[in-house]
Amino acid sequence: GAGVSQSPSNKVTEKGKDVELRCDPISGHTALYWYRQSLGQGLEFLIYFQGNSAPDKSGLPSDRFSAERTGGSVSTLTIQRTQQEDSAVYLCASSRHRDEAFFGQGTRLTVV
Amino acid sequence: KQEVTQIPAALSVPEGENLVLNCSFTDSAIYNLQWFRQDPGKGLTSLLLIQSSQREQTSGRLNASLDKSSGRSTLYIAASQPGDSATYLCAVPSTYNNNDMRFGAGTRLTVKP
């Protein structure tokens, strides 16, 4: 596609439920990043994929968070047993290796 | 651990002024630095990417410079317009071997008509 696509754009879920957020990177981009932005805050790094290398998971805040990238393309961020503090905008970006990164429009997650 | 600081946190200027936004980072072993803008409720838009071998990049009214040895970058905006109002973010890799970007907290710019 022309840009990074994220779905859904908005998600409201009940506390304790699991959610899956999807990111479709730009075709040919080997690097994919997930960030979280809470209201009025900066970008918090979550996880980074580069080609076939092991992902850098150092930013995941707890073991309730996990992410996969299948076939080096689409990525899914899963949050299990959601809590109210998980409410935020989840942003995905992709790039060629060591090149300009492009962001999607984000998924706004609200846990009620 | 790479830490990125942006000064000022907020800036308000009248239309037409030239302005400079600052970004500093603690680990100078980077291979690039990227500037973004974020409009309220939106994702990030890439403005400029500077490779470590470059000292500056220009795009229209924007000029970004990079002084890797001192751990600093500046974003210069010429003849500011109300449409430039947004939050400006700089990002650098966490280490030389990684491409995961670490962000500053941003500068919130308001350009008054």
**A103 to B44: CB separation less than 8 angstroms, yes or no:** yes
Does B54 lie at the interface with A, CB-CB under 8 angstroms?
A: no
| Positive or negative torsion for Cα B39, B44, B48, B52 | positive
**A43 to B103: CB separation less than 8 angstroms, yes or no:** yes
Q: What is the DSSP secondary-structure string of chain B? A: ---EEEE-SEEEEETT--EEEEEEES----SEEEEEEE-TTS-EEEEEEEETT-SEEEETTEEEEEETTTTEEEEEE-S--GGG-EEEEEEEESSTT---EEE---EEEEEE-
CA distances A82 to A48, A56, A57, B65, B105, Å, are 21, 22, 19, 42, 26
Spell out which residues of chain A touch residue B37, defining contact as CB-CB under 8 Å: none
Identify which of A42, A95, A102 has the shortest CB distance to residue B103. A42
Summarised one tens digit per residue, pLDDT across range A17-67 is 999 999 999 999 999 999 999 987 889 999 999 988 889 898 999 999 999
What pLDDT does A1 receive? 52
- Encoded tokens for B74: 């500046």
Does B106 lie at the interface with A, CB-CB under 8 angstroms?
A: yes
Summarised one tens digit per residue, pLDDT across range B63-99 is 999 999 999 999 999 999 999 999 999 999 887 666 6
What pLDDT does A20 receive? 98
User: Given the structure tokens 């939050």, which residue do they identify?
Assistant: B87
